[in-house]
Every structure is written in structure tokens, then in C-alpha cells.
């Protein structure tokens, strides 16, 4: 749906999408690869990644909840609600797959598994679905940001906004 929006509204609507894309691409791809390359030297980068990600996702969720109370523009609010929904989904996915991966890698021996088996299960069951979902969310967020630049609102954002207005 097209809206007549100002540059300021586009900028406000685009900010949360940009934060999510930064988290998805920079933190979960580049910092993760960096952390894996430095894993033998230090655990700090691998611990830095979830802390950065949770802080960014929490910031997106907080700013969107604040926008519900303070934002006058339906266009900006719709985009903020969509970004918050995706941040919550990603945070849940991150916690579940991260917990499963950590349990398999760190506690695989307690379940009677060999080291290679626990690593294979951690990668296949824990990390592979996470990476596929991450790829899908990156594509969806790029599309939402592009629509935001054009002054359009995705159908999912309109549905979230209309559900909020009904309440």
C-alpha cells in the first residue's frame, strides 16, 4: 500500500529495519565467522556475539513498544511493529537454537555421545535451521526496508497495525 509520507517518516520507519539488518548480517555473519576463527585463542568473540545481538534485538523491541504510545504516523508505526515482530521471532529462535547447540556441544558426553556426534547434531539440528531462518529474515527485512524507502507498507505490517487498532 502506498502512502504520502515525508522523508522524516521514511527515516523513522527505516531505522528499526536497519538495526535488524545490522544484527542479522554484521553480528550473526561477520562476527560469528570472526569468533570461529579466533575460537582457539579466546572465547571473548563468541561470547560477544550473543550479547551484541540480544542488545540490538532488545533495542528494536523497546523502540517499537515506545512507538505504539508516541508515534502519530500509521506508516512509521506499521513498519516499527513489523520490525518488532521479526525481532521477537528471531530472539526466540536465537535462544532456542543457541541453548540446543550449547547443550549438545558442552554436554554431549553426558548424553553418551562422542565429540563428533555431538558437534554434528549441534550443527545439523541447532545451527542449520537457525541459518536458514536467518537467510529468510534477511531477505524479508531487505524487502521491508526497500518498501519503506518507496513509501509503501508490506501487507504483514498493515495486518499488525490493523490488529493493534482493533484492540
Q: Tens of pLDDT along 72-117?
A: 888 888 889 999 999 999 999 989 988 888 888 888 778 788 888 8
CB contact at 8 A, 56 and 91: no
Q: Minimal CA–CA distance to 32: which of 54, 17, 47, 16?
A: 47
Q: What is this structure's pTM? A: 0.84
Specify the pLDDT at position 166.
64
Specify the pLDDT at position 2.
61
Specify the pLDDT at position 135.
92
Q: What nine digits make up the cell of 54?
A: 540480544
Q: How confident is the model at residue 33 (pLDDT cuts 50, 70, 90)?
A: confident
Which residue range is the domain that position 86 belongs to?
7-152
Specify the pLDDT at position 58.
95
Tell me the per-residue pLDDT of 38-83, one tens digit each, with 9 for 90 and over: 877 777 777 888 899 999 999 999 999 999 888 888 888 888 999 9
Residue 167 within a domain:
no
Residue 65 within a domain:
yes
> Which sign does the torsion angle of CA 31, 36, 38, 44 carry?
positive
Terminal alpha carbon distance of the chain: 22
Residue 112 within a domain:
yes
- What is the DSSP track for 46-90? HHHHHHHHHHHHHHHHHHHHHHHHH---HHHHHHHHHHHHHHHHH
> Which sign does the torsion angle of CA 46, 30, 89, 65 carry?
positive
Residue 161 pLDDT exceeds 80: no
Residue 138 within a domain:
yes
CB contact at 8 A, 104 and 121: yes
Residue 160 within a domain:
no
Specify the pLDDT at position 165.
64
Q: Minimal CA–CA distance to 129: which of 107, 103, 101?
A: 101
Q: How confident is the model at residue 167 (pLDDT cuts 50, 70, 90)?
A: low
Question: Considering its fold, how many domains does the chain have in total?
Answer: 1
Amino acid at each position: 500500500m502506498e502512502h504520502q509520507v515525508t522523508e522524516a517518516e521514511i527515516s523513522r520507519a527505516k531505522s528499526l529495519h536497519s538495526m535488524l539488518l545490522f544484527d542479522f548480517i554484521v553480528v550473526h555473519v561477520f562476527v560469528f565467522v570472526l569468533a570461529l576463527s579466533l575460537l582457539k585463542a579466546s572465547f571473548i568473540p563468541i561470547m560477544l556475539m550473543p550479547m551484541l545481538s540480544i542488545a540490538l534485538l532488545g533495542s528494536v523491541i523497546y523502540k517499537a513498544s515506545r512507538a505504539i504510545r508516541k508515534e502519530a504516523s500509521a506508516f512509521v508505526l506499521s513498519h516499527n511493529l513489523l520490525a518488532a515482530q521479526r525481532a521477537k521471532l528471531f530472539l526466540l529462535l536465537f535462544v532456542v537454537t543457541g541453548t540446543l547447540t550449547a547443550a549438545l556441544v558442552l554436554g554431549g558426553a553426558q548424553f553418551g555421545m562422542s565429540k563428533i556426534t555431538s558437534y554434528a547434531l549441534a550443527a545439523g539440528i541447532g545451527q542449520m535451521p537457525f541459518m536458514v531462518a536467518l537467510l529468510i529474515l534477511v531477505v524479508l527485512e531487505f524487502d521491508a526496508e526497500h518498501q519503506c524507502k518507496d513509501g509503501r507498507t508490506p501487507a504483514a505490517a498493515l495486518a499488525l497495525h490493523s490488529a493493534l487498532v482493533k484492540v
